[in-house]
Amino acid sequence: MKNKLLLLLLSFALVFSVCAFAGEGSDTIGDENMLLQLRYSYSVYDYKSKWEDDLGLYNDFDFSSHAGYLQMDYGINDYVDIYGLLGYKYLDADEDRHPDDYGLGYIHSMVWGAGLKATFVRMDNGLYFGGGIGITHAFDPGKTTLYVDGDDIRYDYNEFNVVADLHAGWKIKKIGLTPYIGAEFRYTRLFLEQIDGSEVVNDETAILFDDHNFGMYVGLDYYLNNRLYFNVEGHFFDYEGVSASVGYLFDSAIPNLSSGGMGTDTVGACHLLAQVRYSYAYNNYDTDYYRFIGDDVDNDFEFESHSVYLQLTYGLTDYVDVYGLLGYRNVCFDIDGNLRFSDNFDALLWGVGLKSTFYRADNGFFVGGGLGLTHAFNPTKRAMTYYDVEDDDYSSYKYQYNEMNLTGDLHAGWHFANIGLTPYFGVEYRYTVLTMEAYRPGYHEIDDDSSARFEQKNRVGVFAGVNWLINDRFFLNVEGHAIDYWGGSCGFGYRFDICGAPEPAPAPAPTPVIEPKLEPMSKY
């Protein structure tokens, strides 16, 4: 019986490109357990829309989407889970009324989300009642080109979903099945903002919404054993869709400490990690984000940088680190279009951040995340000359350079204790702003016409690295980054035990030996 059910669910998984773990109405996973999942879903939406133009057109849009994402659930206790997800979403947009004029096309996007799920009541016979709330956001980091009114137009795409649900299920332990049913309220808004250069054209912005907010869903869990299980789930009314998944449950989190790069494990309570790091980065700011204040210029702006810095990381607990860094950065500018700079910037570099390990398994697997801020600047204004290719003209200014980076990441890795290696990988969101304020030689006021502000276009990236723990103190680290920027870093460090080992308790005083008292011997 179980084998047939397993084959049936595996067939569902293959049909829907398999994925991830328990569904929306499943029971919570238990205190300090972590469920790691890869989930796939297919959905069809019917959106109403209002195009914010002079015509005020109202149209119906059919959207079909395919989403694949990594999701992690963590049990705060036996009745409450929190979760986060990150992945990819593909939308096929088709307008019903005027397909010749508004055949929108396809949207490739990133998707992330977070939420909470609770079980309110759990009975001895397996019946349970629960509910949850979650938010997801899909966006296109590279901007979307769509076909509207006979033209290819670039849009900034954002889709938000807020969902609240109530559900009930029944664990039939004898056969390992858990059917469930639920009702949900879903609030959806999709924004398409037309981009002209670097500006949003507000009178051509589209707002799409789903006016069917209430829906229902049914699903089924199949527990193959205490760790591995499968799930299928279907939705209707608010939208039509289906998902299929497979998941694995981890427990018994234990400290298994590491150190080093962006995606490594935390260093441990009362430990201080001192490391010297070098990094190389190549970044590109394209036409849409390159602008001299007061004058739009069609150029691609590129730079490469070399950085050397000292980083100190301190373990507040076995699961939370804080860190700071201080060092030097050299920045080389290259503009592919009209302008050329004569020299590089020498900048001071500093930064602060926090890193946490959310979960460690007894097999060496760990999952974590972090948030960091860095700032590079030249402490004195740098005299530089740029050459305008079109006008064949040289201009000299003193520039004040500032570069700010705010980065958040999620990562996972695996400790191989027998060989001392820890490979890891992660995804990051990086927001970068770079400014060059121009001052005429001999003047102290900013020349706005020759100042520049740049924003990074590709903000979502990936990274991977490996640690080699030479012993309990020394380590080496190598790390590479792609998409948001291209580059790598390496580091060498030493971990100090700040608190030290506890003083051994004094040995108890030896028990006094009592000599037996001998009676005098009789002379007889």
Residue 282's domain is classified under what CATH number? 2.40.160.20
Q: Does residue 235 sit in the same domain as residue 346? A: no
First to last CA, the chain: 97
Sign of CA dihedral 55, 57, 63, 68: positive
In a domain, 29, yes or no: yes
Which pLDDT value is given to residue 135? 94
Least confident of 69-83, 136-150, 232-246, 480-494: 136-150
Helix (H, G, I), strand (E, B) or coil at 57: coil
Contacts with 289 (C-beta within 8 Å, 6 or more apart), sequence order:
198, 454, 455, 456, 457
Mode of pairing for the β-strands spanning 271-285 and 199-209: unpaired
Q: Which residue has the higher pLDDT, 101 or 278?
A: 278
The answer to whether residue 69 scores a pLDDT higher than 50 is yes
Percentage of residues of the chain with pLDDT beyond 70: 68
CATH assignment of the domain containing 246: 2.40.128
Which pLDDT value is given to residue 385? 65
In a domain, 259, yes or no: no
Q: What is the mean pLDDT of the chain?
A: 75
State the Cα angle at 513 between 511 and 519, rounded to 5°.
Answer: 155
- Please state the length of the chain: 524
Helix (H, G, I), strand (E, B) or coil at 436: strand
Least confident of 17-21, 210-214, 354-358, 372-376: 17-21
> Is there a contact between 368 and 341 (Cβ–Cβ < 8 Å)?
no
Confidence of residue 424 (pLDDT cuts 50, 70, 90): very high
Average pLDDT over residues 408-429: 87
Cα distances from 231 to residues 8, 18, 72, in angstroms, run: 11, 10, 15
CA proximity to 18, closest of 246, 211, 208:
246
d(CA 37, CA 73): 8
Q: Which residue has the higher pLDDT, 394 or 411?
A: 411
Q: Does residue 186 sit in the same domain as residue 276? A: no
Least confident of 103-112, 157-166, 228-237, 410-419: 103-112
The answer to whether residue 410 scores a pLDDT higher than 60 is yes
Please count the other Cβ atoms lying within 10 Å of the Cβ belonging to residue 108. 13
Q: Does residue 401 sit in the same domain as residue 491? A: yes
The answer to whether residue 205 scores a pLDDT higher than 80 is no
d(CA 250, CA 55): 56
The answer to whether residue 335 scores a pLDDT higher than 60 is no
> Is there a contact between 291 and 275 (Cβ–Cβ < 8 Å)?
no
Domain that holds residue 407: 271-497
d(CA 521, CA 524): 9
Q: Which residue has the higher pLDDT, 450 or 18?
A: 450
In a domain, 521, yes or no: no
In a domain, 506, yes or no: no
Residue written as tokens 């040995």? Answer: 507
Q: Does residue 360 sit in the same domain as residue 225? A: no
In a domain, 141, yes or no: yes
pTM above 0.75, yes or no: no
Least confident of 121-135, 216-230, 315-329, 495-509: 495-509
Number of domains in the chain: 2
Q: Does residue 320 sit in the same domain as residue 198? A: no
Average pLDDT over residues 173-178: 82
Cα distances from 361 to residues 64, 416, 509, in angstroms, run: 38, 12, 43
> Is there a contact between 39 and 68 (Cβ–Cβ < 8 Å)?
yes
What are 180-189's pLDDT values in tens digits? 999 999 998 8
DSSP 8-class letter at 238: S
Q: Does residue 468 sit in the same domain as residue 322? A: yes
Residue written as tokens 């899909």? Answer: 138
**Count H helices, E strands: the chain?**
1, 26
Q: Does residue 246 sit in the same domain as residue 291? A: no
What are 221-256's pLDDT values in tens digits? 887 777 776 888 999 887 888 887 877 776 544 444
Confidence of residue 398 (pLDDT cuts 50, 70, 90): confident
Q: Does residue 337 sit in the same domain as residue 231? A: no
In a domain, 513, yes or no: no
DSSP 8-class letter at 503: P
Helix (H, G, I), strand (E, B) or coil at 272: strand
d(CA 189, CA 63): 13
Q: Does residue 279 sit in the same domain as residue 415? A: yes
d(CA 323, CA 313): 4
d(CA 459, CA 429): 6
In degrees and rounded to multiples of 5, residue 450 shows phi and psi of: -120, 10
Q: Does residue 196 sit in the same domain as residue 302? A: no
In a domain, 98, yes or no: yes
Q: Does residue 305 sit in the same domain as residue 427? A: yes
> Is there a contact between 410 and 455 (Cβ–Cβ < 8 Å)?
no
Q: Does residue 345 sit in the same domain as residue 477? A: yes
Q: Which residue has the higher pLDDT, 408 or 108?
A: 408
Confidence of residue 5 (pLDDT cuts 50, 70, 90): very low
Confidence of residue 190 (pLDDT cuts 50, 70, 90): confident
In a domain, 260, yes or no: no
d(CA 488, CA 261): 11
